[in-house]
Amino acid sequence: MPTTPAEDGLVIEMRNVATRFGTHAVHTDVNLGIRKAEIFALIGGSGSGKSTLLREMVLLQRPSAGTVRVLGMDLRNIGDGDALALCRRWGVMFQHGGLFGALTVAENIGLPLREHTQLPPALIAEIAATKLAMVGLAPEVAAQYPAELSGGMLKRAALARALALDPELLFLDEPTAGLDPVSAAGVDALVLQLRGLFGLTIVMVTHDLDLLWQVADRVAVLAQGTVQAIGSMAELSQLDNPLIRPFFDGPRS
Ligand code: ADP
Ligand code: MG
């Protein structure tokens, strides 16, 4: 197993991460450490490489250079067995929902359980029902298809699926994007409820200032290929860096 002891309490560490797509350098030198049980947010302009960074944390993308360590494992030369074991320990909610349209909500939530466990179907259905309740969806939603749900319900269902395996790490890419303010506030409240649940660490990408102020313990600002600053919203809001100010001075999104 490719392990070296992680720095104390860090569940995710990125060191000197660079990412290029062809000649386009998205990240030149990204360094960050995420602590167990914190809510850590990534902000930055559109195209600054936030989603790519999340993808690199969950083995969906390989950096061009640098080190990514997750839960004590170096992702660079990870074997298939270790990769599978790690995938079982995190849940991901993608920017564009990612529910399968041909499956009911309950089947979507049960998917990671069918993939990663040998649990009998009846128990999987029971767990799916529990997760639905956890994200505030009514029991009858279980039998519905994604196309029948509103945007806010889709995000909740996707969150329920990400929570199916009781993950240690939860990755959320723009959980409130595209939602009306009321639905967005509902998702904000939900993320807040998840704080500290079984020591859950949450890593999220968001433009949503309400969500950031309400739930983020620390925020990393990504610009020009690197992390410009990491701190609480209160700390960041005091900085004069012209690459950071726009996130605090601009209109609320
Ligand atoms: P953000 O989430 O901050 O908006 P992304 O991480 O999605 O940004 O993308 C950062 C940049 O990398 C963008 O210019 C995007 O077009 C490019 N990019 C992302 N993924 C790929 C890919 N698989 N192939 C080529 N370019 C990509
Ligand atoms: Mg993105």
pLDDT (tens digit per residue) in 118-136: 999 999 999 999 999 999 9
Q: How far is CA 195 from the centre of its chain?
A: 13
Res 247: pLDDT? 84
Q: Check residue 72 and give left, alpha or beta (phi > 0: left; psi -120 to 50: alpha).
A: left
Alpha carbon distance 33, 104 (integer Å): 37
Q: Are 206 and 212 in contact (CB under 8 A)?
A: yes
Which neighbouring-strand residues pair with 39? 202
Atom 25 (ligand 1) nearest CA: 21
pTM given for the model: 0.92
Res 5: pLDDT? 46
- Kindly state the tokens that stand for 66: 């640098």
Mean pLDDT per 10-residue run, the chain (253 residues)? 56 98 96 96 95 96 97 94 94 86 97 94 96 94 96 92 95 91 89 85 92 94 96 94 84 51
Atom of ligand 1 nearest to the CA of 49: 6
The pick from 52, 54, 174, 226 for probing ligand 1's pocket by mutation, whose C-beta has the most ligand atoms within 8 angstroms, reads: 52
Instruction: Please indicate whether residue 44, judged by its CB atom, sits closer than 6 Å to ligand 1.
Output: yes
Ligand 2 centre to CA of 206 (Å) is 9
Alpha carbon distance 196, 91 (integer Å): 15
